[in-house]
Chain A
Amino acid sequence: AQSVAQPEDQVNVAEGNPLTVKCTYSVSGNPYLFWYVQYPNRGLQFLLKYITGDNLVKGSYGFEAEFNKSQTSFHLKKPSALVSDSALYFCAVRDRGRDDKIIFGKGTRLHILP
């Protein structure tokens, strides 16, 4: 069965510093991987996805994520954090080649400190 883990409930980063939000996954085949962001009282917004090809994926708002097959990870990164990046971030995985549903992690709350 597929699963996804976000080991940190909350991440605090000073504005201007680089940020990382961690995600690891488990699938029987090859994964499709996604990152979504949720702002207060709003639905989830798509940030980026890995389907195939280059392991470094660039997305919206300056975010990027690196697919690491050996470590089964897909960490979200940004070189310089903004206060406006403060939100709830969800990693999601789908097992390629199977008709499985997308599974979301429990979310990581990102606080960017001014």
Chain B
Amino acid sequence: EAGVAQSPRYKIIEKRQSVAFWCNPISGHATLYWYQQILGQGPKLLIQFQNNGVVDDSQLPKDRFSAERLKGVDSTLKIQPAKLEDSAVYLCASSLGNLAETDTQYFGPGTRLTVL
């Protein structure tokens, strides 16, 4: 079974530039998550999709971050414009559903973003 795919693996940009990350979840997984992991901290949930609908985006900085999951499969996360404090690893995860019994999340390798 293929895992969660993310691209690119690394990205370096200047502040105020834009950047986009892509995620392809495990086939059949209804729930998709985007996390931000700053160095030395645990992952922080940015947004959670159930199929193509948003379940939770309470911690997404909506003035600069946006995400979409068209057709309930792939997802993109965009930052526009980027700030220095956005430097982090962006993790995508997927799970079968939103019940605890199926709530095991499977993570992609992440995208390491450096904002200069």
* Chain A residues in the interface with B (C-beta under 8 A): 32, 34, 36, 41-46, 49, 51, 90, 92, 94, 96, 99, 101-102, 104-107
Contact = CB atoms under 8 A, between A and B. Distances in A.
Interface string B81-116: 000000000010100000011011111111000000
**Secondary structure dominating the interface of B:** loop
28 contacts: A41-B109, A43-B91, A43-B108, A43-B109, A44-B93, A44-B107, A46-B104, A46-B106, A49-B103, A49-B104, A51-B101, A90-B43, A92-B42, A94-B100, A94-B103, A96-B100, A101-B48, A101-B56, A101-B58, A102-B103, A104-B42, A104-B44, A105-B42, A106-B40, A106-B41, A106-B42, A107-B41, A107-B42
Interface of B: 4, 40-45, 48, 55-56, 58-59, 91, 93, 100-101, 103-110
Given A32-B100, A44-B91, A90 B42 contact: yes
Contacts of A104: 42-44
B4 A43 contact: yes
A49 B104 CA distance: 8
Contacts of B43: 44, 90, 104
Given A32-B100, A44-B91, A51-B100, A102 B109 contact: no
Contacts of A107: 40-42
A101 B60 CA distance: 13
Contacts of A106: 40-42
Contacts of B48: 101
B108 to A, nearest CB: 5
Contacts of B105: 44, 46, 102
Contact of B45 (A36, A46, A102): A102
Nearest to B56: A101
Contacts of A102: 45, 103, 105
